Chain A
Amino acid sequence: MNGRERSARELIDATLARIENVEPQVGAYLSVLEREARERADALDKRIAAGERFPLAGVPLAVKDNLVLEGTVTTCGSRMLERWVAPYTASAVQSMLSAGAIPVGKANMDEFAMGSSCENSALGVTRNPYDLERVPGGSSGGSAASVAAHEATIALGSDTGGSIREPAAFCNLVGFKPTYGRISRYGLIAFASSLDQIGPLTRTVEDAALAYDAMAGFDPMDSTSVDRAVEPTAGALREDLRGVRIGVVKQFDTHKLGADIDDVYDRALHDLEALGAEIVEVELPTADYGLATYYLIAPAECSSNLARFDGVRYGLRVDGADVAEMNERSRAAGFGPEVKRRILIGTYALSSGYYDAYYVRAQKARTLVARDFAKAFESCDLIAAPAASSPAFRFKSKSDPYSMYLMDYYTIPMSLAGLPALSVPCGWVTPEDGKRPMPLGLQLTAPLFAERPLLAAAHAYERATTHAAKHPTQIAEVAR
């Protein structure tokens, strides 16, 4: 881009044409920023012509619709904010803009980031580009689908219990959640404040590293932002894993996932060893308590964060005889069922008489999860695990809420401990209920603040394999 092989405008025009072509099938975006993208591209081209250089010049960017971008309708996938226009821009989005990236659309998502399939969006359906009858994953489903379908080069998502890593795995992408506090949450509409993190979904580890380098760093606007030097990652990517000890978790036995899936993860471990890594067994004794811990903490925090949506200052209002009735009716109309469920369970867990038994207890269990990881990292440098228990499933196949929560089983513990983790493509299986091979993701986790060795190792694995190179074919067939 900076070398002027193509102008930003050309790149954006091509992306917008692709979006127009495939969106009817994929549905990744809730809004496409055609005019704004072209204006930004033209402005960027002028600055490049004048001699400025940008690390992500002209990169078409999808922005998950829980990130505010000034002047854009920012919905969180909810009727509550269906028409709300953001009056400011999130710090992380601003960082990407300053690096030269150009937002082309706001990506669909599970409502208020609650979900693992994107089916909880109240405003649109997003399909998995690798099999249009399957979900793209969630909650950053639109972000994943946009990059997988070549409707963006980089997408920003958010991850609370797995919402970047799981859709990345479902859509054959790299999905990266940094250490809690590394990327500012200012402008990310909050779901669970002690868990939420912004991160990139990309085709390659290098792109994820570039995006992370652009966004990471202390931000005074976020009181949980960590004031700690960021070691740049994009220049430190490795081609081998000599000297790297990779822990495999005894509690995460992939035999349980079926022979086909087990084979893929087995082969992934062999590939890691072939690169020079030493595989060691580690334990996370409290791994099985992760779901219970998370599904008390996250709903509790969400019940607090979503209290602001009361019909008063912004968003949907349904009138009532008094303020309480207005609140109750606005929230009844504005929130979908999963959001209501989580607010209710969260309110209950925080209510008088139950606060100690539920919320505080879960916070203590969280300490145990974090300690388990710290202990495991005494004998390894990275932990390898599945990103999800299955490939992308068919629409409406998980009608029971708890069966959907189980999709987060492998990603929740890392969120609870605040650790940096990513998913990288590791192979294919053809599900029993389908004909198309679907991707699987290998989740790599590092100790707190160890983004650099994490991305370095993921890059080595990616370069030694060819899984990422397989592009969706179903869309191209229909679009012809």
Chain B
Amino acid sequence: MSSENLDIAYVAKLARIALTDDEVARFGAQLGDLLGHVATLADLDLESIPATAQVVESRNVVREDLERASLDRETVLSGAPQRQGAFVRVPRIIGQA
């Protein structure tokens, strides 16, 4: 649990957040500090302890596969940053421009 392994620039890439150099330095220090605090979990003997994902122990919850009303498309698309007809428009994903 070493904070020396915390490569903020790499993690930011995974998290798809563009950081400034200043943020890389600042967050690196602050999160390194936090990792130092959470290192106390190493004290605990957790060998035979099951993980708790959530406390009320629901199992896979499914519903009947029946068609029912959904959100109005116009309403939903009106919240999109860029749209084109019935589509949300984004930068090219496949192939070269």
B residues less than 8 Å from A402 (CB atoms): 30, 33-34, 37
**Interface pair B93/A194, CB less than 8 Å apart:** no
Q: Bin the interface of chain B by size.
A: 35 or more
The reply on A361 being an interface residue by CB < 8 A is yes
| Known A296-B38, A402-B33; contact A332-B19, beta-carbon cutoff 8 A | yes
B residues less than 8 Å from A153 (CB atoms): none
Complex CA gap A348/B14 in Å reads: 9
**Interface pair A358/B18, CB less than 8 Å apart:** no
Closest residue of chain B to A291 (Cβ to Cβ) is: B37
8 A/B residue pairs, CB under 8 Å, sorted by A: A181-B55, A289-B40, A317-B82, A344-B12, A347-B14, A362-B41, A365-B41, A448-B55
The reply on A94 being an interface residue by CB < 8 A is no
**Interface pair B80/A344, CB less than 8 Å apart:** no
Output the residue of A179, A328, A405 with the most chain B CB within 10 A: A328
Complex CA gap A470/B34 in Å reads: 39
CB < 8 Å neighbour of A340 from B17, B50, B52, B91: B17
B residues less than 8 Å from A382 (CB atoms): none
Minimum CB–CB distance for A406 against chain B, Å:
10
The reply on A320 being an interface residue by CB < 8 A is yes
Complex CA gap A370/B52 in Å reads: 9
The reply on A410 being an interface residue by CB < 8 A is no
Complex CA gap A155/B55 in Å reads: 26
**Interface pair B41/A348, CB less than 8 Å apart:** no
Complex CA gap A430/B31 in Å reads: 34
Q: Mark contacts of A18-53 with chain B using CB atoms, 8 A cut-off: 1 yes-contact digit, 0 otherwise.
A: 000000000000000000000000000000000000
B residues less than 8 Å from A313 (CB atoms): 76, 79-80, 88
| Known A291-B37, A322-B91, A358-B1; contact A223-B58, beta-carbon cutoff 8 A | yes
The reply on B51 being an interface residue by CB < 8 A is yes
A residues less than 8 Å from B23 (CB atoms): 337, 340
Complex CA gap A366/B53 in Å reads: 9
Complex CA gap A314/B81 in Å reads: 6
CB < 8 Å neighbour of A367 from B5, B15, B50: B50
B residues less than 8 Å from A146 (CB atoms): none
B residues less than 8 Å from A226 (CB atoms): 56, 58
**Interface pair B1/A357, CB less than 8 Å apart:** yes
The reply on A343 being an interface residue by CB < 8 A is yes
The reply on B46 being an interface residue by CB < 8 A is yes
Minimum CB–CB distance for B67 against chain A, Å:
16
A residues less than 8 Å from B51 (CB atoms): 360, 363-364, 366-367
A residues less than 8 Å from B37 (CB atoms): 291-292, 295, 402
A residues less than 8 Å from B81 (CB atoms): 311-312, 314-317
**Interface pair B80/A340, CB less than 8 Å apart:** no
List residues 39-93 of chain B with CB under 8 A from any CB of chain A: 39-41, 43-44, 46, 49-56, 58, 61, 63, 71-72, 75-76, 78-82, 88, 90-93
Output the residue of A87, A88, A291 with the most chain B CB within 10 A: A87
CB < 8 Å neighbour of B31 from A323, A348, A405: A348
**Interface pair A340/B46, CB less than 8 Å apart:** no
Complex CA gap A417/B30 in Å reads: 27
**Interface pair B30/A401, CB less than 8 Å apart:** yes
CB < 8 Å neighbour of A314 from B14, B72, B79: B79
B residues less than 8 Å from A317 (CB atoms): 81-82
Closest residue of chain B to A319 (Cβ to Cβ) is: B91
The reply on B6 being an interface residue by CB < 8 A is yes
**Interface pair B90/A323, CB less than 8 Å apart:** yes
| Known A223-B58, A289-B41, A289-B44; contact A87-B75, beta-carbon cutoff 8 A | yes
The reply on A379 being an interface residue by CB < 8 A is no
CB < 8 Å neighbour of B15 from A85, A88, A329, A347: A347
